[in-house]
Structure 1
């Protein structure tokens, strides 16, 4: 007889819906237990659709949340809720990894998780190859890591990094080149992948390039790694989520795959 494991989530937007549908259609061994949402009407509609409980504050959420919590709500929500969730000893699967560009927050989250038997799971999101980057980081030698993200100009509109810039929606242009810290501040909804690669490779000097291309039909992420150990080029073409073009559908799928790995007798890393 199949064992059913429960999971709670944070967020009730487009990526949360993708995640919930994956569980329903492909991972019947998991059941949504509860959803934590800021907007009551939206969270209640989500809970009704997926037969789970809607909660509107972290205190009520932690009274009976599942052992595993999946964050699908953005960096601000992750920074607000991660520490109490980890303090409760739960496993937290994180999608909005850009929040960990804040080193103080990252170190505090790691400390609290370690002290309370909690666990932080950072998922691939819209890219892959984190296992390779982490493997190479064990050498601790000098290496170069560059991630170039290409998106439709419209998906970048509203980013703080474009403030005061008249972006030509019909012309390909490099809109940012620099470090991870500056990238996530300027493009908080577009460059989680830069933070993920920097964390996996343990390289805070990871270089980020963001390109706006009106001909782009996918969100493209090209990771280039060079060291004395190995050279690699990894390129990923993720289709924008129809309900949220700033994100890729594979981001929510990677959270579901991580959940599956946590409970599976066989895992792929």
Structure 2
């Protein structure tokens, strides 16, 4: 099988996990040929890690998305934000690049979701939604196909992770409180970079406008706890994942990339 070319958009901590997996030989079917980040130095840093390996190809840090797309990578890993995915998705898919993304919140916009599907179909490309900090998409999808179901999504967070949002106030440092209750579309509108997993669960099941979301702030809580519950006539399933850091999201991208090229996919 031909080695796949890979590029990264958004070169923060999660992208560095993908780069480290490449360096460790966990992604042997890929060559990282380009990086792009709004802070050029971050793109340069990851590219340098690859260059220092003295491989038989180069990894170019890019100053713009256009420059990155000109490299024509087979796959683009996007770990930046829903806004970044909205800018990237259609040009990349038209360019012949498939996408692996963590910014699933962008797909709460149904018009964008449908346009991405249409563009990918027309150009023979695909968008792979990495599981991020949650799992169980296979169960959610299966039950939703099988019969009518109800889905709820409950998240526990520490108050510091809610700073710079409309719901934060200093009282959350000492007071446990439900800070949001609504559907997944409303949640992503209020927390555009913090509830991608809720939209992912919604897309895998009954849709962003039908999944009931609640977010609870707990003093001194470290990390995130995401609990998805799906109920139908025949099935009752609960997926509950606690993660101390966001590292699992980066590793879910690595697993997605491995599944794309593996003869056996998990």
How far the C-alpha of 1:45 sits from its partner, in A, is: 2.5
**Structure 2 counterparts to residues 1-269 of structure 1, below 5 A:** 4-29=3-28, 30-51=30-51, 52-139=59-146, 141-159=147-165, 161-162=166-167, 165-203=169-207, 204-240=209-245, 248-268=246-266
Q: Secondary structure at the match of 2:172?
A: coil
The residue matched to 1:64 in structure 2 has which SS? coil
Which shifted more, 115-124 or 50-59? 50-59
TM-score, normalised to structure 1, is: 0.90
Q: For the structure 1 residues 3 and 110, does the alpha-carbon distance in structure 2 shift closer, same or farther, using more than 3 Å as the test?
A: closer
Distance, in Å, in 1 between the alignment partners of 2:220 and 2:14 is 25
Residue 5 (structure 1) shift? 3.5
User: Conserved in 2, the CA contact under 8 Å of 1:88 and 1:118?
Assistant: no
SS at match of 1:89: coil
Question: What SS does structure 2 have at the residue aligned with 1:108?
Answer: helix
Secondary structure (helix, strand or coil) at the match of 1:132 reads: helix
Consecutive unaligned residues in structure 1, runs of 5 or more: 241-247
Instruction: Provide the C-alpha distance between the structure 1 equivalents of 2:11 and 2:171, rounded to a whole number of angstroms.
Output: 31
Question: For the residues of structure 2 that align with 1:46 and 1:267, how far apart are their CA atoms?
Answer: 28
Tell me the number of residue pairs that the alignment of Structure 1 and Structure 2 aligns.
257
Where structure 2 has 5 or more consecutive residues not aligned to the other structure, the ranges are 52-58
Deviation of the 1:21 alpha carbon: 1.2
Q: Pick which of 171-180 and 52-61 moved more.
A: 52-61
Displacement of 1:28: 4.6
1:216-259 deviation per Cα after TM superposition (whole angstroms, max 9, x unaligned): 2331000111111310111001122xxxxxxx111111111000
SS of aligned partner of 1:162:
coil
